[in-house]
Amino acid sequence: MIVAGLMSGTSADGVDVAVVRLAGRRYRTRFELVAHCAFPYPVAVRAAVLKAMNAKSIAVDELARLNFLLAEIYADCVQQTQRQLGVTCELVGCHGQTIYHQGQATGYLGHHIACTLQIGDGSVLAARLGIPVVSDFRPADMAAGGLGAPLVPFLDLLVFRHPKRGRIVQNIGGIGNLTAIPAAAQTEQVRAFDTGPGNMVIDALCEKFFGLAFDDGGKLAAKGKVLDAVLTERMKHPFFQRKGPRTAGREEFGREYVREFLKQCGRRANKHDILATATALTARSIGDAVRRLAKTDRYHDLFVSGGGTRNLTLMEMIGREVAGLGIELQPTDAAGVPSQAKEAVAFAVLAYQTWHRKASNVPGATGADREVILGKVSYA
Ligand SMILES: Nc1ncnc2c1ncn2[C@@H]1O[C@H](COP(=O)(O)OP(=O)(O)O)[C@@H](O)[C@H]1O
Ligand SMILES: [Mg+2]
């Protein structure tokens, strides 16, 4: 079966489409990436998405419109990909754009409520493409007591589980998250959690100081010096102390967080130093997570993926963080999954399971009570 996986992450940079050929089921699924295409959001769309994500309140009509608009944009992306490659997909797995995510339940009107919202309507997408779409993957895991994230560990198990080598698979998107797979791990032994900010704080500072969407290659951060006192202080954030499954988003590391970060750097701090410190924060939070994992299991490899791998300053800092642990750092490309396509591939693989009525959450990763079939199917 040929499936298109669509990912649009918290960076709100755009849409990744992975076309994947799949066979087998569950943990015996075999797949081959046919191609990967990336489509940046038009500037005004990105602004609308960021506004909705960061908003304390947004008009419901605007949110409803954005829900349908994103589906049209996703459809265009899939169509362009199909045309470019000369392939026809049979199914789409669409993550959607996360507008809000609260994995942990809190009191609300006399109930305990955890909730999440990914937009980009599946019915519209299915109608435009004329093929079925699986979307809205997270609620099923949350309804089973999970945090609804991360969902990529299913793919990570397929690709990275190794009989002799313990492996950590780190994605650096807007948020950083990892999957830890000890050597010869049973599915229950897999751990996964968000490590903290990925590119989110770096991007916000780049925008503010330099009017740039991101720090290309990490060149701007390379000119700065890390403010060690700020870094140490920032690592005391309660998020980093939390053990076990944990998720983060713009709720934790968005606009409000950046404001605090800047305040701590002080008025007179140099822009490049501030950026270097934000970059070091991502690296340190990954380093800390890896060190904590290495206390209980032996790990040999740290595979990295996502847009953050293009930030060479960040990569160098991560390398330094794990240097003493005897862990080899390399992009996921080395294991056959291109680092910029991985998340999109994951949603093709998850949609494929759902289409065949197979479960694909990893309870050890999300904290769910059981394995469940993820997502909702829209028929064309
Ligand atoms: N050439 C580059 N140099 C540095 N950072 C980059 C580069 N290209 C992309 N990025 C970073 O990667 C981010 C997008 O990564 P991605 O994996 O798509 O994240 P998400 O899943 O959150 O959308 C951008 O916002 C940017 O911070
Ligand atoms: Mg992206």
The tens place of each residue's pLDDT in the chain, 380 residues long, gives: 999 999 999 999 999 999 999 999 999 999 999 999 999 999 999 999 999 987 778 899 999 999 999 999 999 999 999 999 999 999 999 999 999 999 999 999 999 999 999 999 999 999 999 999 999 999 999 999 999 999 999 999 999 999 999 999 999 999 999 999 999 999 999 999 999 999 999 999 999 999 999 999 999 999 999 999 999 999 999 999 888 778 888 888 988 999 999 999 998 999 999 999 999 999 999 999 999 999 999 999 999 999 999 999 999 999 999 999 999 999 999 999 999 999 999 999 999 999 999 999 999 999 999 999 999 999 98
Of 13, 49, 195, 347, the residue with max ligand 1 atoms within 8 A of its CB, to mutate for a pocket test, comes to: 13
Give CA–CA dist 153/159, Å, rounded. Answer: 10
Task: Give the Å distance between the CA of 307 and the centre of ligand 2.
Answer: 7
User: Which atom in ligand 1 lies closest to the alpha carbon of residue 215?
Assistant: 4
Q: Determine the pLDDT at residue 243.
A: 82
Residue nearest to atom 18 of ligand 1 (CA): 307
Could you tell me which residues come within 8 angstroms of residue 282 by beta carbon, excluding any fewer than 6 positions away? 172, 176, 196, 197, 198, 199, 201, 202, 308, 314, 317
106 φ, ψ (degrees, to nearest 5) = -135, 165
197 lines ligand 1 (CB under 6 A): no
311 lines ligand 1 (CB under 6 A): yes
Q: Determine the pLDDT at residue 285.
A: 97
Task: Give the Å distance between the CA of 96 and the centre of ligand 1.
Answer: 17
Of 311, 315, 333, 342, the residue with max ligand 1 atoms within 8 A of its CB, to mutate for a pocket test, comes to: 311
Smallest CA-to-CA distance from 76 within 130, 125, 137, 26 is with 125
194 lines ligand 1 (CB under 6 A): no
> Are the C-beta atoms of residues 334 and 40 closer than 8 Å to each other?
no
Q: Determine the pLDDT at residue 250.
A: 83
Ligand nearest to the CA of 221: 1
Q: Determine the pLDDT at residue 247.
A: 85
Distances (CA, A) of 258 to 142, 182, 263: 29, 35, 9
Residue nearest to atom 8 of ligand 1 (CA): 307
Secondary structure letter of residue 249 according to DSSP = -
Residue nearest to atom 12 of ligand 1 (CA): 307
Task: Give the Å distance between the CA of 11 and the centre of ligand 1.
Answer: 7
